[in-house]
Amino acid sequence: NAGVTQTPKFQVLKTGQSMTLQCAQDMNHNSMYWYRQDPGMGLRLIYYSASEGTTDKGEVPNGYNVSRLNKREFSLRLESAAPSQTSVYFCASSSEGQGNTEAFFGQGTRLTVV
């Protein structure tokens, strides 16, 4: 049972380069999320998708775009990477998008922008 799978695990980009972080879940969950983790700041929501076909901004969406490709896949794109986007990125999913359901997380992507 794979759960939530993210690729790649590590990436180094030069300022101005673009890349897409991939995320897939095999739990038939409706809701999916992208968070970034920075030291001393916990995790902050970048974008989320409450259901297939919908996406919405979270707390820190600037510089990012997302695509909910189908129910399983939710990708995060950096169009022009900046050093401020150096972070660890986590994808997560949950079953019904209600406040009391557990979120399942991928193992993360460590991104460095130089």
Partner 1 sequence: GNSVTQMEGPVTLSEEAFLTINCTYTATGYPSLFWYVQYPGEGLQLLLKATKADDKGSNKGFEATYRKETTSFHLEKGSVQVSDSAVYFCALSDLTSYGKLTFGQGTILTVHP
CB contact set of 21 (below 8 Å; sequence gap of 6+): 6, 7, 8, 34, 75, 76, 77, 78, 89, 91, 109, 111
Minimum CB distance to partner 1 smaller for 4 or for 24: 4
Q: Minimal CA–CA distance to 83: which of 20, 33, 16, 37?
A: 16
Q: Which of 12, 41, 69, 114 binds partner 1 (CB under 8 A)?
A: 41
Q: Does 58 bind partner 1 (CB under 8 A)?
A: yes
114 neighbors 15 (Cβ within 8 angstroms): yes
Q: Does 19 bind partner 1 (CB under 8 A)?
A: no
Q: Which of 31, 60, 66, 78 binds partner 1 (CB under 8 A)?
A: 31
Q: Does 112 bind partner 1 (CB under 8 A)?
A: no
Q: Which of 23, 68, 90, 113 binds partner 1 (CB under 8 A)?
A: 90
**What are the residues binding partner 1 (CB under 8 A)?**
4, 31, 33, 35, 40-45, 48, 50, 58, 90, 92, 94, 96-108
